[in-house]
Amino acid sequence: MRKTREQVLAMALDAVTYARERGLVVELSGEDASRADPAFVREVYAGGLEHGADRLCFCDTVGLLTPERVAEVIPGLCLAPLSIHCHDDLGMAMANTVAALRAGATCAHVTVNGLGERAGNTPLEELVMALETLYGYETGIQTRNLYHLSSVVSRMTGVPLPTNKAIVGEMAFTHESGVHAHGVLREPSTYEPVPPERVGRKRRILLGKHSGSAAVEAALAEMDIHPDEAQLREILKRIKDLGDKGMRITDNDLIAIAEAVMAIECRPVLKMKQFTVVSGSHVIPTASVTMVVRGEEVTGASTGKGPVDAAMEALRRSVAAVGDIRLEEYHVDAIHGGTDALVDVTVRLSKDGKIITSRGARTDIIMASVEAVIAGMNRLLGEKNEDRSQDTH
């Protein structure tokens, strides 16, 4: 800024006076305060309060604070209600925020999913759960809505959640390792700091090459499939074989393997006769689909933000009469190659609280998406009384 301390102080006091004269509640923030002379920061704060500031804010603008430094500096600056504003450039935002609150700060600046400049700010969901779980402080936040809020913000901003993000990441309450899955099924606190339901989530047992028989048996039991010991061993073997090939095991994969091993007949509820998608630079993406749903031909159509979105909505509308199915998650993996490379689409669908994952693989991303959704819909709309026990005679 090329200003002297005296000039900076005068500018700050003028700004406080200007805001107060217009009836505003004033929080005087010290940008980059963590690298400034603490004595000068205190002088600015004191002057601001004399000119009518209501609150103060200490900013770690480039994320260089440490909890030890926070404990030294913050107590001497609590001349009024003090907020702490931390950035996560070195991964210390959460630790520094908690340290500041313990040192006397009364408010924390947070953002949903930690969104913010560069590496972001202190995440709301992580701070809330840390305060309630580790420090026994009741925040008043409805924690069961945290995951929903996080998902909505991620979708609206177009910023995906890191898979391994605490509390709201896809893997936060997911278990694959045989020992971990076995332990969490017997006693959830063995490998979970808080129950997933507390933040609006559900525990997930991920099946793959590290899975054990307990995890596979539990996953099958949720689908009302009960193999005998020999069948369970064969199902586990086939899952591990797929996992060794680097494949993601979906619920649909598991059911298909179990049906093959146990010779269970699957009666599809719906079949697709045709679908058409129209898209282009000056055309609103539109899709129509004709399905046979429990013996009756049904046609649905929809527009969307893109051809895949339009196709997904057309499928959903075509089965609306027999079930309200929602697309919870959509994931695409493109296998490396040319323009004709295989596309692997994984979807997560829900109906009446039941969630299932399904996959489609084609060179056409729209066809792969339709294939994945139809397979998942068939599982969700399957007959409730279908016999899935080990006795198939």
Are the C-beta atoms of 270 and 381 separated by less than 8 Å?
A: yes
Q: Tell me the mean pLDDT per 10 residues along the chain, length 393.
A: 90 96 96 95 97 97 97 97 98 98 97 97 98 96 96 91 92 79 81 93 82 86 87 90 80 82 77 92 93 89 94 91 88 68 84 85 88 89 52 44
Q: What are phi and psi of 352, to 5 degrees?
A: 55, 40
pLDDT value of position 338: 65
The three state secondary structure string of the chain is CCCCHHHHHHHHHHHHHHHHHCCCCCEEEECCHHHCCHHHHHHHHHHHHHCCCCEEEEEECCCCCCHHHHHHHHHHHCCCCEEEEEECCCCCHHHHHHHHHHHCCCEECCEHHHCCCCCCECEHHHHHHHHHHHCCCCCCCCHHHHHHHHHHHHHHHCCCCCCCCCCCCCCCCEECCHHHHHHHHHCHHHCCCCCHHHHCCCCEECCCCCCCHHHHHHHHHHCCCECCHHHHHHHHHHHHHHHHCCCCCCHHHHHHHHHHHHCCCCCCCEEEEEEEEEEECCEEEEEEEEEEECCEEEEEEEECCCHHHHHHHHHHHHCCCCCCCEEEEEEEEECCCCCCCCEEEEEEEEECCEEEEEEEEECCHHHHHHHHHHHHHHHHCCCCCCCCECCCC
pLDDT of amino acid 44: 97
Q: What is the pLDDT of residue 387?
A: 45
Q: What is the predicted pLDDT for the residue at 154?
A: 92
At 392 the pLDDT is: 43
Domains (range + CATH), the chain: 5-157 (3.20.20.70), 174-262 (no CATH), 270-380 (3.30.160.270)
Token pair recorded at residue 329: 């998650």
Cβ-Cβ contacts under 8 Å for 299 (sequence gap 6 or more): 288, 289, 290, 291, 318
Neighbours of 152 (CB within 10 A): 12
Question: How far apart (Å, rounded) are the C-alpha atoms in residues 24 and 279?
Answer: 51
Structure tokens at 352: 């009446």
